[in-house]
Amino acid sequence: MAKFSRFLLPVLGGIVLNLAFAPYRLSLIAWFAFIPLFFSLRDGEYSFIKGFLMGLAFYGSLLFWIPFSNAGSEVVPQMIAGYILLLIYLSSYFGFSALLYRKLKGLNRIYLFPVVFSGLEFIRSLSSVFGFPWGSLGYSQTNLTCFVQIASFGGVPLVSFWVVSINILIYILIEEYIIRNNSPRRIYLYLLGVMVLFPLLYSGVVVLKGYRSSGEITATVLQPNILPDEKRLGSRRERMEVIRKAILNSPKSDIYILPETASPRSIIKNESTKRFFQELAAEQDALIVTGMPDFEIKKGKICHYNAAGLIDSAGSRGIYRKMFLVPFVERFPYDDVIPIFKKIELGQGHFTPGQLFPVFDAECGKFSVFICYEAIFPQLIRKFVQKDADFLVNITEDSWFGKTNAPYQHAEMAIFRCIEYRRPLLRSANTGVSLIVDPFGRTMKETDIFKEARISATIPLVKGLTVYSRIGDTSGWLFLLFVVGLIFFKRDLDD
């Protein structure tokens, strides 16, 4: 029974860890969620399995929404199969972390486990095709803005390292003081104090210091709440009328943000659509950002894009074409390199990834747009910030998630970009969650899901670069380098 309970402990930790993420946002739970796993690993047996079980319990509860997404009944088998494969893939990272924990235990260096976990987790953020950083531990702390301004140094990897460090230090103190009945070394108490107090004090200083701003603008984020079936089968004229009324009934603003694929046609290629938005922009004397389909002909072949366009009363001001496409949904990976992949049909779209990193230079300030899934890849947003974007715009179509936890988790990750880069965010989601977020990651305005809504606020135009903007994922690479070194480190260990 005692051995069986040691397999239950990591499962308990995984389920509890899920509560630290949106929509529950019980962030402090993450500070203790790994302790059951550490206790289960005390016997040194079945390390990979125990870590895998924690990952399975965590991701199984965090991502339960995948099979229930509103993707259509015809692709449900593929969604279920994808869910199972994804759980196996993601849980393996926890399993390998536990294996390396065992090696550190043999070296009497378990306090280095936070480096291992963060390094392995970092691997998942390196590719938009085979990576999937959804559920990275650092995101569990998004709403603790009084602690996580340290993300402006090292992004999600640094915050993940910080959370696991608190876990391991608490575990060491419990093991020494309660289980072994020893007086714990003071260094661990001091380190735990530093781990809690330094981020708190630093965050306080950063918020108090503020940011360098060149001015401010008034923005309105629109949430039309047009359901997928209405988009596919409904009248385009009725859809455009919903948009027209939404903008005309909104407060006067410098810029209006519409969600992904809000426009049924390209404002670049389709003259009537372009004219529609021009007239709206002229009536409101403002800029409009809208998601839209776009296309171009290359070498005799038509390329379809998921795009966003900026327009004013004079016409189109620029376009952004989504670069990080959702694998197996918007595109089969590498179908442009391996032609046979184009013949595989899993219900996916056939979009082409964009190539450029535009920053829209408008009268109201400089900004960049990123679309949907791209919000979870900080390296993409870093390119925009380095090119002097004053604020960020995220547009998305999250109705596919249904009334699950996914829209809240997706928004949670987008908010983290504000903390890393010290930029405000305007987020328009067709069915929610839409947000206006300040440069410290504090939500100014937020909508409910599956309700038509509009939110307005005045946001600053922020200048300057954070450390993370300059050095990127240096901390993540250092953590990963340590992992590689540990894997190849040879020494006879007692089992």
Give the CA angle between residues 186, 187, 192 to the nearest 5°.
100
How much is the pLDDT for 494? 46
Whether 339 shows a pLDDT value over 60: the answer reads: no
| Distance between CA atoms of residues 409 and 428, nearest Å | 15
Question: In the structure, what pLDDT confidence band is assigned to residue 343 with cuts at 50, 70 and 90?
Answer: very low
Q: Sorting pLDDT into bands at 50, 70 and 90, what band is 75?
A: low
Tell which residue, 101, 92, 91, 120, has the closest CA to residue 39: 101
| Predicted confidence (pLDDT) per residue in 1-20, tens digit | 567 778 999 999 999 999 99
φ/ψ region of 108 (left if φ > 0, alpha if ψ in -120 to 50, else beta) reads left
Number of Cβ atoms within 10 Å of the Cβ of 415: 24
Q: Which of 180-184, 265-269, 273-277, 377-381 has the lowest average pLDDT? A: 180-184
User: Percent of the chain having pLDDT more than 70?
Assistant: 92
Greater confidence (443 vs 69) lies with: 443
| Rounded distance between C-alpha atoms, residue 172 and residue 110, angstroms | 9
Residue 52 has what pLDDT? 98
Burial of 451 (0-12, 13-18, 19+ CB in 10 A): exposed
User: Rounded distance, CA 403 to CA 385, Å?
Assistant: 33
Token digits for 32?
Answer: 């203790």
pLDDT tens, 175-231?
A: 888 777 777 678 899 999 999 999 999 999 999 999 999 999 999 999 999 987 787
Domain spanning 212-463: which superfamily? Answer: Carbon-nitrogen hydrolase (3.60.110.10)
CB-based contact 415:435 (threshold 8 Å): yes
Out of 50-54, 197-201, 400-404, 445-449, pick the least confident: 400-404
Cβ contacts of 262 within 8 Å, gap of 6 or more: 222, 224, 226, 243, 290, 291, 292, 395, 428, 430
- C-alpha dihedral sign at 448, 453, 459, 462: positive
Break the chain into its structural domains and give their ranges.
Answer: 2-209+473-488, 212-463
